[in-house]
Amino acid sequence: MIARRLAELAERCGITVAVAESLTAGNVAAALGAAPDSAVWFRGGVVAYATEVKRQVLGVPDVPVVSETAATAMAEGVRSLMDADIAVATTGAGGPDPQDGEPPGSVWFCVVSRGAARAEHRQFDGDPADVVERSVQYALELLLSMAQAATRSSPVSADDNRV
């Protein structure tokens, strides 16, 4: 289970995690909250379904919300808001209808650390529930990957275990 692997790494290395979710509606946060010792490393999350919430709470500029720019702003906004070491954001068109000119199943992700950001787009097939499930899985994979990269690139000492 990816959330369990992330939990072990986060706790061992002192990494804190946050999430900003639109399309996934809190399911990434739920998976992280169910992982071992999540109170130690999981800072929290923001479920921002409404465009106004994305803009006002997470700092998304006046761009389509199903976009790389929106996903990046969401991830950076929640990382800053929660004072987390790494964060992931999900935004997309779950379906059955298109959104912002994007077809159903179009999902933008962004994972950030204190020194890096990586946005990715995926096109998932299936009904809205399938798109959400696959998006949650992919968001968790991105978090684990960023945590692994952050621990490799940043030496950890007993005095400073922040990424």
pLDDT of residue 156 exceeding 60, the answer is no
CB atoms within 10 A of CB 65: 25
Question: Nearest 5°: CA angle at 34, between 156 and 36?
Answer: 40
Residue 47: pLDDT band by 50, 70, 90 thresholds? very high
Fold type of domain 2-151: Maf protein (3.90.950)
User: CA 156 → CA 21, 48, 78, 161, distances in Å?
Assistant: 29, 33, 24, 5
pLDDT of residue 91 exceeding 90, the answer is yes
Average pLDDT, the chain: 93
pLDDT of residue 49 exceeding 70, the answer is yes
Share of the chain above pLDDT 90, in %: 90
Strand ranges, E, within 6-85: 17-21, 42-47
Q: How does pLDDT run across 51-69, given as a tens digit for each residue?
A: 999 999 999 999 999 999 9
Residue 1: predicted pLDDT: 87
> Of residues 156 and 126, which shows the higher confidence score?
126
Residue 157: predicted pLDDT: 36
Three-state secondary structure call for residue 153: helix
How far is 18 from 78, CA to CA, in rounded Å? Answer: 7
